[in-house]
Structure 1
Amino acid sequence: MRLTRRGLGVLVAAACCYALGEVAGFPLLRAIAGVGIGAVLAGLSVALWQPKVEVSRSVQPERIERGKPALASLVVRNGTGRRPRGFAAHDRLGAAEHLVQIRPLEDGAAATYHYELPTHRRGRLAVGPLVLHRSDPFGLARGERAIGGIAHLWAYPRLHAVRANGAGYPRHHHDGPITDPPLRGSSDLLAVREYVMGDEVRLLHWKATARTGQLMVREYADPAQLRFTAVLDTRSGSMSPELFEEAVEVAASLLYAAASAGQHCGLITASGAHTTVDSGLRVARLLLDELCVVAQDAADSEPLVPAARSRPGGTLVLVTGAGADLGTANRWRPDVVVRLGDGPSGGGTVSAPDAAGVVAKWNALGAR
């Protein structure tokens, strides 16, 4: 709650009138000062009033592709024992606000308000809290109160229909130590871990169980499991912000198709993020969450990938700009380099001005 510029002006003018009335002995000036101070106090009392209501919200669906419709549902309940009058409030949508006209509610009654959310931009959008703005009729004071919690809408990058890569070579035990998520299903012993509900009893490791006092199971790696890793160039100098959004769509489409096809997937960015998951649509959400909030680096970082990090097994695809310098990424010998922008294709390079063009060329290569 605060005074507006008009309210401060009235307060200063009232103080001057009162002082002048005292010095000059004019009762009228003192009366005018009293009226001004009374108006300011009345404005503050109006701004202090806030309706006592309970607010809850939900977002449906919570995760959606960019550009598809999403709906926010706002429930306002009156549990005060009296009937408050209607009021206007704003539901915050990130940096923007949505006006909601709340109607009067009887005791114990609830009203639900629906409105569409903006999904034209990729990102994690905070929905809420509900902000109540109050001001007096003369604009002397203004009050603001936030009620209710916050829900989040995940606007994923658009997913294009892309063929899953099927040429990823197997990862064997001689590829080096396995540090990413376990690959289950074969005879290469990876580790011994605690038993969790659903593990097969035949995998129990009795010696480790006797030594630790807890049920322990053997974790195996599958050397025939196809693997797919996408490296996304997040350096600010590699491409424009518009092309970067296309690059994110390419990486998301390739990773989603690979995870859907049963491949173990990984995402590496120039900023240092390294996310690896098992196969399947359930775990693919972790990669999409990462790509939902990924942004270009503030500074043009070098190198593209840390030189000390070893090359992941399986197929490796690098997504970058048309004129970007790969630098140390060449040491990883990427199977395919995707370049967004105008440039030639061929020889392990796929170039196109947008994500749709890249996907069309990728699918054409896979169909041969």
Structure 2
Amino acid sequence: MRPTRRGSVVFVLAVLLVAFGQWAGQPLLRALGAVLLAAVLAAVAVTARPVRVVVTRSVYPDRVERGRPVLARLRVRNPATRRQAPFLATDRAGGTAQTVRIRALPASAEATYHYELTISTRGKATVGPLLLHRADPFGLATNRLPTGETATLWVHPRQYPARALVGAHPRHHHEGAITDDPLRGSMDLRDVREYVPGDEVRHLHWKATARTGRLMVRDLADPQQPRFTVLLDTRPDSMRPSAFEEAVDLTASLLGASTREGQHSRLVTSSGLDVPTPGGSHAARTLLDELCLVRQRGDDESLVPAALAASRGFGGCLVVVTAADAEVTSLAWLRRRYSTIFVFAIGEGGGAGAVAGARVLVADGAEHGVRRWNEVIG
């Protein structure tokens, strides 16, 4: 329990009025100062009683696009044998705050409140702890109590409705180089992972299930499905932070459309991150989690990382998301490895230079870039 800033100002003013009234022989000033002083003491007395409740807060869903609200549910229970006076509960997430007014609770009563939390910054945000506080009607004093557990919220990049690049990319030769990996059969085993609702029961991996004690499934993919790779420019000096966020949103939109179509989808960054996936809802979540945490970093001045120079994992379509004024001549040699290459030039500038065999799309942001993409692929 402590006075607020307003309460402190009123207290100092009250003391000055009492002192000046006493020195000047002005009983009216002394009386006014005494009234103000009494108001501050009364506010302190009103808020002195602590807030004794049991609170439980849950947030759903635990993953959300930036700028989209999540629903929080707050349960408040009064375990005492006497009535609990009204108070306020403030929840914080990602630099934003939401205050809920809790009504008076009878003894052993419980109430549930719902509210929304909106976070505009991509990343992993910590929700809570809750701050319970009681204040007087004039805002002169407050009693605050942090309580409850914190929750982690994954704030994904914003996605715009993009079209998936349809049509498989079969093996073919380009100037003597095979641009797609050799096919190994009708289905490839890419991973063994924990079962999630929606997985086919026939893909259960019984040996892994017996070993781990949890249902495990085979992550299978058709090697003849289209392959889609996005290279995101994460060099610190390549673009401004606002333009980089647009680039991340564009990357999320394209990869989201690709994985939802079940395509082999791969995220590569110039800082060295390499996340290949077989497509599907689980792959989409994996890629969005990675994009949730990606930052502009790396000391290498090269746009193309070593991962794209490897002998495995190439083929299909490559999309490069970089700055409008970036130097992209280093991409020319990738034409031998990918059947189709698109270069997105994001932000203001003269536009990226021409790349032999690649199509350059200039866009001022993610939404504009997705519109250009949809127009190009039909």
Q: Structure 2-normalised TM-score?
A: 0.67
Letter in 2 for 1:350: L
Q: Corresponding residue for 2:365?
A: 354
Residue 83 to residue 170, structure 1, CA distance change in 2 (3 Å): farther
CA distance in 2 between partners of 1:52 and 1:124 (Å): 31
Report how many residues are paired. 319
Point out where structure 1 has 5 or more consecutive residues left out of the alignment: 11-38, 206-216
Deviation, 1:130, is 0.8
Deviation, 1:126, is 2.6
Contact 2:249 2:366 in 1 (8 A): yes
Point out where structure 2 has 5 or more consecutive residues left out of the alignment: 13-39, 173-177, 208-216
Q: Corresponding residue for 2:281?
A: 281
Q: How does 1:130-145 map to 2 (within 5 A)?
A: 130-133=130-133, 144-145=144-145
Q: Corresponding residue for 1:303?
A: 302
Q: Corresponding residue for 2:346?
A: 340
Contact 1:73 1:114 in 2 (8 A): yes
CA distance in 1 between partners of 2:201 and 2:135 (Å): 60
Q: Corresponding residue for 2:112?
A: 112
Residue 78 to residue 336, structure 1, CA distance change in 2 (3 Å): same
CA distance in 2 between partners of 1:143 and 1:184 (Å): 68
Q: Corresponding residue for 1:14?
A: none
Residue 244 to residue 108, structure 1, CA distance change in 2 (3 Å): same
Deviation, 1:75, is 1.5
Correspondence for 1:323 among 316, 322, 325 = 325
Deviation, 1:293, is 3.2
Contact 1:184 1:221 in 2 (8 A): no
CA distance in 2 between partners of 1:332 and 1:68 (Å): 37
Q: Does 1:268 align with 2:268?
A: yes
Letter in 2 for 1:283: A
Residue 81 to residue 274, structure 1, CA distance change in 2 (3 Å): farther
CA distance in 2 between partners of 1:204 and 1:194 (Å): 12
Residue 148 to residue 324, structure 1, CA distance change in 2 (3 Å): same
Deviation, 1:135, is 8.0
Contact 1:77 1:109 in 2 (8 A): yes
Letter in 1 for 2:343: V
Residues 277-313 of structure 1: CA deviation (Å, up to 9, x unaligned): 221124312212222333323x664333433651632
CA distance in 2 between partners of 1:220 and 1:98 (Å): 44
Letter in 2 for 1:315: C
CA distance in 2 between partners of 1:166 and 1:137 (Å): 63
Deviation, 1:235, is 1.9
Range with bigger deviation, 285-294 or 47-56? 47-56
Residues 196-231 of structure 1: CA deviation (Å, up to 9, x unaligned): 994569x999xxxxxxxxxxx999874313221111
CA distance in 2 between partners of 1:68 and 1:4 (Å): 33
Q: Structure 1-normalised TM-score?
A: 0.68
Contact 2:51 2:145 in 1 (8 A): no
- Report SS of the residue matched to 2:228: strand
- Report SS of the residue matched to 2:306: coil
Percent identity, aligned pairs only, is 45
Contact 1:157 1:248 in 2 (8 A): yes
CA distance in 2 between partners of 1:116 and 1:289 (Å): 22
Deviation, 1:175, is 8.0
Residues 96-145 of structure 1: CA deviation (Å, up to 9, x unaligned): 43223222212332222222322444343332211134689999997643
Range with bigger deviation, 284-293 or 150-159? 150-159
CA distance in 2 between partners of 1:219 and 1:62 (Å): 24
Residues 235-267 of structure 1: CA deviation (Å, up to 9, x unaligned): 221112222122112111110111111202111
Range with bigger deviation, 62-71 or 191-200? 191-200
- Report SS of the residue matched to 1:251: helix
CA distance in 2 between partners of 1:125 and 1:191 (Å): 31
Contact 1:74 1:113 in 2 (8 A): yes
CA distance in 2 between partners of 1:80 and 1:199 (Å): 54
Letter in 2 for 1:264: H
RMSD between aligned residues: 4.5
Letter in 2 for 1:319: V
Residues 8-34 of structure 1: CA deviation (Å, up to 9, x unaligned): x99xxxxxxxxxxxxxxxxxxxxxxxx
Residue 104 to residue 163, structure 1, CA distance change in 2 (3 Å): same
